[in-house]
Structures are given as C-alpha cells and as structure tokens.
Structure 1
Amino acid sequence: MKSKQIVAAKGEDAAIIRCGDRLLAFAADGIRHELIKIDPRWAGYCSILVNVNDILSMNARPIAAVNVMSVNDDNILRALTKGMLDACEKFNVPMVGGHLHPDAEIESISVAMVGEVCGNRPLLSSSAEPGDQVIVICDCHGHFTPGIPYSWDCTSMKSRKKIDNDMTALLDALPFLTAGKDISNSGMLGTLAMLLEASGVGAAVDIDKIPVPEDINLIQWLTAYQGFGFVGAVKKENVNRVFEALERSDLSVSVIGKITAEKRFKIALGKAQRLLFDLSKEKITGLF
C-alpha cells in the first residue's frame, strides 16, 4: 500500500513517516524464543536495545515503545519485564503500553518503537555512492553475554548518563554520513552487505582496519550482534567531522574501505583477498 506519508520503508531499519511538519521513525523487532529460554531478563533488555539501535540508525532519537508478550510462566514474565524496564530506564525510552497473551504455548516478546528524526534528515541505507568511504562505529568496551556467544553487551554496565552521551555523539555524527545501518544479527559484514544491496553498489573492505576488542576472537566479533554498532558510508571530506563528533564518546570509529560502482563485496585480511558476495548475482535480503 502506497501513502504520501511514507518517506522510506523497504529495506530500512525503521520506516520514515511524515507527521505534520515532522518526520518519525517507526521500528519493530521480536526476540528469538531460544534467547528467552537461556536468559529471559536479557531477552527483555534486548527487545528494547534492538529497537533503540534501529531508531538511532535512521538519525532519530527514540520517543516511546509498546510491547506484546506471550508468556505462561510467572518467573519468565517477571524476568522479561525487568529486562525491558531496565533498558527503558537506561535508554530513556518510556514503555507506554502493551499486550499480554497469558496462555501461550511458547514464550515470545516483541517491541515496537517510535522516534523523531533529528533535523528532519533521515539517514537511509539505500544512499551509498561509489567513492564513499566505508565506516564502522562500535563500542569495544564490553563482554559477550554468558551462554550467548554472539551477543555483545556494551551497554548494561553503563550509566544512563554515559549511554545518553554516546547516543548524542552518534546523532551528531550521523548527519555527515551518506548511508547507514545498525549492526544486526547478520554481523558487521552481513549488515554492510545489506546496505550495499539496498544502495546498488559494492565495496572493498580491509578487515585489518576494523576495531576489535582486546582478546576477542575476530570471527566471533565479525559475526556478533553488537550492542551498539553501526556501519555506513561517508564522503571523504566528511570523515574528520564524523571522528570529531565521536571524540567525546566511548565509541570506536574507523574507515575500513571504499564503496565501489562494481556490485561486488570484496574483503582483504593481510595479503589474502576474497570475494564475499557478488551482489550482481546474489541476494542478501531479496528486497531489491
């Protein structure tokens, strides 16, 4: 269904919707049942975290959230709720409503979130151009969640003040990017591949230039869901402005490659070079 109020939606981390003279970002995400079984409090926390990152990646600040839970175990319900409320407090996002299915056979949790686009300038994933620099922004101060080896936690131990500082610095940096996405379950390179597919371009990336936390396995890091991580494209003349905006934060930032007109995603590690995806033939999301 088409609507003149919808500015962007397909392939984006959040839909951009026109509301009067403002632009809103609208996101929704669900948490896998397996994560709820392993650590329901962390699952509740992540239900907020993933939506916050989706909203931020669009150059928007979160405003409010709602939830839908299916839980028939009171202990799991309490843990899920505590995780959600802990994250709402951490990221300063009020939970304004929701719905509970108390007799469900399988536990699940989903959250929808709305945010306001900063300066009415949304950052899309479909606007990278050949010649842009590939940039990664991530938080190397954290640890992998016990029992969940691909879930990087870099926020739960931080104060609300520190989190707000990092969010504000990120939102100061994002307007200088030409395209961006938050690093999702597909990992750093998989998320970049989705951005390239949406933009109809390719990239050459040097793995050695990616910030990696000390004593963390490279493959585990590249394939992890990062608690506060983003990939994007930026004009060469704007790179320093991005670095300057992030100086006051705990975030690491690095230029790791270049956007190419050829729809091939190539990676290099040391002297080794490989073709990761041929985007002229292969589909990542299948949306383009």
Structure 2
Amino acid sequence: MSDVAALAARLAAHPHVTGKRDIDLACAALGLTQDSPGRPGDDAAAIPDGDGWQLMATEGFMNDFVASAPWFAGWCAVMVNMSDILAMGGRPTAVTNALWAPDAATAAEILRGMKEASAAYGIPIVGGHTNLRTAQPQLAAAIWGRARALITSFDAKPGDVLIASADLRGAYAGESSNFPAFLNAPHARLRGDMEILPLLAEDGLVTAGKDISQGGIAGTAVMLAECSGVGIAIDPAQITPPDGDLTRWMTAFPSFGFLLTATPDNAAAVLRRFRDRDIGAGIIGTVTSCSAVTLTEGGMQHTIWDHGKQPYLGLAPQKEPADA
C-alpha cells in the first residue's frame, strides 16, 4: 500500500471524521433534509430577512474538554460559533450560553474564557442559562449573525478548485488536535480577519464553503461534497502540515480555518484576500462530478469517503423521482 493510500485509510477511520456521522442520526430522527427550513447541512441556519439573512448556529462541547480546559472551552464557545457565522458569509451579532457546573469557581473560569473571547472578537454575550448544581461542568452556546450574501455548503460545482485557508500563527494545544492561533493575537487583527469571509461572499468570489471543524480538512471536505452532491479530489502534496504530520493536520481543528470552492478564474483573488492578512491559503484540490472524496497520487485516486455509497451527514441533495 502506498503512503497516500494508507493516509486515505487512516483518515476514513479517524474518530474526528467518523464522529460527524452522529449528525445523520439526528437528521433522520427529526425528518430533516437540506430542503428543510434553514437548510440543515450548512454551518448556520439561514433565514431570509429583508435584503439579507438572519443566521443562527449552536455548539456544544465534550464534558471532558470543559472539565480539563475550562478557560479554553469558554473561549471556544464564542470562537467556534463565530466561525460558523463567518463561513456563511455573515457577521456575528450576539452569543448566548448554557452552562452547568458543580460550583461557582468552576463556572468562573469557563465564563472568564467566554468574556475574554467576547471582548477580543467584539461579539456581545446577551444572556443564557446557568446551573451550579450539577456533578460535572457542561457547556453549550448559540450565536446569531447576519449576512448580505451567503456562502453555502450546497453550491460547489465540478470544475471548481478547492481552497484551504488557515491561520498558522499558532501551534497545537499540547497533544490535542486543536490548533489555536488567537493566543496573544492583537484584538484588532482578529476583528480584521473576521471581514475576509463576508467580503468574499459580497464580492461573489466563492461558490461554496465551510469552516474547518472538528472533522478537519478531511471530514469537512466530505460534508461539503455530500451537501453539494459532488466529489472532491484532494492533492495531499499541496498541503503543508505545520509539524510535518499530515494525518494530524488533515484532522485538526484550526481556530481560523476554512474550505472554500471557487471558479479557477476567481481563485487568485480569493487566495490574495487571505494572504494579504498573513493567513495561509492554497489550492489543494478540485471539485469533481462523482460522489467520492479522494486523495490523488499521480493518476490514482484513493477514497476517503464515497457519500453516494454510504451517506455521511444524510443531507445529500434530494434526487428528482424517475419518470414512471
């Protein structure tokens, strides 16, 4: 087995990639499809509102993570939700939280992280739910935003290029897959970076996109491919992992990272928007007309996931019924 074939197999079985399968269960139980209100499968629900869209998203966090890194979890409650709004081409307007903790001291450290992130990104915390009588800390948060023009998960087309962008001015947090680039970053720089995605949407420079979530580049590419009903061929030779470990980077969760598709004619302009702000960006693949996300190796294709054979989110485009 070649190194690239082995990489594809590792990514297909990686828990950060397979963990996204839980979404399929919830969508099936609720009877949701990508044609349901708010279009499930996107990073945020988009509700038409006048000349734009109201955006809504929510994130919950693993109890072990909240217990072991309460300040970081609090910061992520704002940051991760913010990324969902940015990925839609929107600007965040407000955050609420739902917090459970066994005592005030535990809650205080979580809330400190949220407060500091709120100040850094300029996103107010406007309320929430608090309970200090539980056995373990738990945290979830919701966000609202607004977009003038949308970036969706549904509009990638064969022939588009796949662009990966990530702020590399950071490092992995210990042995985890989290790659924070916000630590010690000037608040003005963070807020300026938040304008990249909305302006790309408003200038019509991208066709589709998602933020790079806990599934990493690999899992996010599969979600994007299924939602758009396309395939994606990724060239691993075009990806430079910050520590040399390609498996780790392709399943990592960067604090500011996005997968975007664009026409070849617009690709250079998209790359320039990120690079002008010292954020890494490059073309790492192409959108295809099949249903598989693959790694390319010369003329060979090694499959990570084929959503046509095995649903991933369960949110593929609905097929038109065949004529009788």
**TM-score, length-scaled by structure 1:** 0.92
Measure how far apart 1:270 and its partner are.
7.2
One-letter code of the match for 1:33?
N
Report the Cα distance in structure 2 between the residues aligned to 1:10 and 1:82, rounded to whole angstroms. 32
Alignment correspondent of 1:123? 151
Which of residues 222, 232, 255 is equivalent to 1:227?
255
Report the Cα distance in structure 1 between the residues aligned to 2:278 and 2:164, rounded to whole angstroms. 14
> Does 2:214 align with 1:182?
no
Which of residues 97, 104, 117 is equivalent to 2:134?
104
Stretches (4+) displaced over 3 A: 269-273
> Does 2:199 align with 1:165?
no
> Does 2:132 align with 1:86?
no
Question: SS state of the match for residue 191, structure 2?
Answer: helix
Alignment correspondent of 2:272? 244
Q: List alignment gaps of at least 5 residues for structure 2.
A: 1-30, 317-324
Between 1 and 2, higher relative CO (CA 8 Å, sep ≥ 6) is seen in 2
Question: SS state of the match for residue 194, structure 2?
Answer: helix
Report the Cα distance in structure 1 between the residues aligned to 2:89 and 2:227, rounded to whole angstroms. 18
One-letter code of the match for 1:134?
L
Q: Deviations over 1:25-52 (max 9, x none)?
A: 1111111101112110001111111100
Which of residues 47, 53, 59 is equivalent to 1:23?
53
Alignment correspondent of 1:198? 227
> Which moves more between the two structures, 21-30 or 77-86?
21-30
Measure how far apart 1:137 and its partner are.
0.9
Report the Cα distance in structure 2 between the residues aligned to 1:51 and 1:65, rounded to whole angstroms. 8
Alignment correspondent of 1:261? 289
Contact kept, 8 Å, 1:173 with 1:241, in 2: the verdict is: no
Which of residues 178, 183, 204 is equivalent to 1:151?
178
Report the Cα distance in structure 2 between the residues aligned to 1:249 and 1:8, rounded to whole angstroms. 32
Q: Deviations over 1:168-215 (max 9, x none)?
A: 2333334411010001111111101000000000011101112422x3
Report the Cα distance in structure 1 between the residues aligned to 2:200 and 2:77, rounded to whole angstroms. 25
Report the Cα distance in structure 2 between the residues aligned to 1:274 and 1:93, rounded to whole angstroms. 42
Contact kept, 8 Å, 1:140 with 1:212, in 2: the verdict is: no
Contact kept, 8 Å, 2:52 with 2:149, in 1: the verdict is: no
Measure how far apart 1:7 and its partner are.
6.5
> Which moves more between the two structures, 53-62 or 240-249?
240-249
Measure how far apart 1:248 and its partner are.
2.2
> Does 2:96 align with 1:66?
yes
Q: Deviations over 1:79-102 (max 9, x none)?
A: 100000111111110101111012
Report the Cα distance in structure 2 between the residues aligned to 1:162 and 1:217, rounded to whole angstroms. 28
Report the Cα distance in structure 1 between the residues aligned to 2:149 and 2:156, rounded to whole angstroms. 15
> Which moves more between the two structures, 38-47 or 101-110?
101-110
Aligned CA RMSD, in angstroms, stands at 1.9
One-letter code of the match for 2:223?
M
Alignment correspondent of 1:45? 75
Q: 1:271 to 1:41 in 2, by over 3 A?
A: farther
Report the Cα distance in structure 2 between the residues aligned to 1:153 and 1:211, rounded to whole angstroms. 17
Contact kept, 8 Å, 1:137 with 1:253, in 2: the verdict is: yes
Q: 1:271 to 1:129 in 2, by over 3 A?
A: closer
Contact kept, 8 Å, 1:140 with 1:211, in 2: the verdict is: no
Q: Deviations over 1:233-270 (max 9, x none)?
A: 11111111112222321211111111011112110357
Size of the aligned set, in residue pairs, is 281
Q: List alignment gaps of at least 5 residues for structure 1.
A: none
Contact kept, 8 Å, 1:16 with 1:25, in 2: the verdict is: yes
Contact kept, 8 Å, 1:179 with 1:232, in 2: the verdict is: yes
Which of residues 37, 55, 78 is equivalent to 2:85?
55
**TM-score, length-scaled by structure 2:** 0.82
Fraction of identical pairs, as percent = 31
Contact kept, 8 Å, 1:205 with 1:257, in 2: the verdict is: yes
